[in-house]
Structures are given as structure tokens and as C-alpha cells.
Amino acid sequence: MKYRVVLGSGHWWVFLPGWALDSRVFGYMKTEASCLYLDQLCLPEDVVSLRSLFESYNISSYSIMGLSLGGYQALSLCHEYEFAPQQLCLMGLRDRYSAATIRLIKRKLERDGMGYLSSFYRSCFSNGGHGVELFSSFLDRPIKDLDLLNNGLMYLLNAHDSLRVLDVPVLLCHGGADQVAPVAKARQLSTRLSWPIHLFSNGAHVLESLHLDGLKLGG
């Protein structure tokens, strides 16, 4: 389990990235809090290591920022593994990914992994070229990372199981120009689970420059 720590104030933000992404995707977000940046988790395998990491840094007062796959994993940590953040901020979520969608992505990865990932990164960021440049390391080794990518896809296939009412405050953050998780899907999710949604009209799937200390539930 790869991670990076930046110490700040007493409260913590824990960052969980989306599929085919890693902690660099959160690099432009701003907060005075301490930050734990994680690369893609494998659940349940990484739960014990994550608990140990929390104990090592005495992480008790924390919020979780989860992007797409990381958002579903954040919900699973609460529902299934008794993690208790003070709030969840979930970015780029949709109600579900169909089996047909997952099969299509897997076929594209097998046929032309570099081409598909380049297209995916362009769709994730407002500045598509920046996304390709930032995650060029994935493009350099798509075959090596294929198991990790497929693991994430299988998680996404069943991720809708985690979309249920939670005893933790949840805020949805969503880009109005999100091509991966269309905003209409996020609105449906917000209505169904009574989770407030903060819309960024020109934002893409990745909202790079959020000021986390200014985010308010219901804002």
C-alpha cells in the first residue's frame, strides 16, 4: 500500500484516488489540515495496513475525500470495516457501472491499453493534456498495471452495493462537465440518498483545485 503524508493542523484529510489514478490527482487541492495521500487500495486486503497506518500517525479526527472508485471504497470502509470519519466528500460518483460498460473497458485495455488510458485521462481533466502528462507513468507500463486496473474494474462493477444511507455526513462534489460520471447521475444519487451536492459548473471528473477547508455540508 503506497502512501504519502503531509503534516498540518490536528484534523486530517485522507485521500482515495479513482480508477487508473493515484495520489497525484489530489496534488492541487488546498487545505491546512494534515493529509494522508493513498494510492489505489485493494479491499479487503489493505484494511489491516490502513488501520496500522492510522494508529502510527494517531489519525482519529479525519475526513475522507474519495474520487470515483475511491469514493465507493470510502463508503465501504465505513459500512463494512467500521471506519468513522467526521465526513465524506465524494467526487465524481455515479449510481452504477453496468457489466456491459466494464466488459467494454476491459476489451479496450487489452487491445490498446495506452490508447484507451490516454483517452480516459483526457476525459478526466478540464485540461486533458495535463491529465495525460501527469499520469504518463501509467501509459509507460499498461501491461504491468493491468492486474491493478482489472481489480479496480471488478470493484466498480459491484460498487453500487456501497451506495446506501450512512451515519456519517456525506457531501457530493461534482463537475458539471464530467464525462465519466454525467451530472444527471449524480443528481439522481443525491436525491435518492438525500446527500447534498456541490456542483462546479465547468468542472470535469477531477476537480483539481478544491479548497477543502471551505467545503461545507449542504453548501
- Summarize pLDDT for 169-183 with one digit per residue, the tens: 999 999 999 999 999
Which whole-number Å values give the CA distances from 215 to 1, 46, 59, 71, 117, in the listed order? 28, 29, 21, 17, 31
State the average pLDDT over residues 181-194: 92
State the average pLDDT over residues 53-62: 96
In this predicted structure, the answer to whether residue 190 has a pLDDT above a threshold of 70 is yes
In this predicted structure, the answer to whether residue 132 has a pLDDT above a threshold of 70 is yes
Least confident window among 28-42, 134-148, 189-203:
134-148
Q: What percent of the chain has pLDDT over 90?
A: 67
- Please indicate, yes or no, whether the overall pTM of this predicted structure exceeds 0.85: yes
Decide yes or no: CATH 3.30.160.20 for domain 3-96+161-214: no
- Give kind and range of the element (H or E) at residue 117: helix 99-124
What was the pLDDT predicted at 197? 94
Give the mean pLDDT of the chain: 90
Residue 7: strand, helix, or coil: coil
Tell me, what amino acid is at 75?
L
Whole-number Å distance between alpha carbons of 127 and 121: 10
- CATH 3.40.50.1820 spans which residues of the chain? 3-96+161-214
Tell me, what amino acid is at 25?
V
Confidence of residue 143 (pLDDT cuts 50, 70, 90): low
CB 4 within 8 A of CB 26: no
Taking residue 40's Cβ as centre, other Cβ atoms within 10 Å add up to: 24
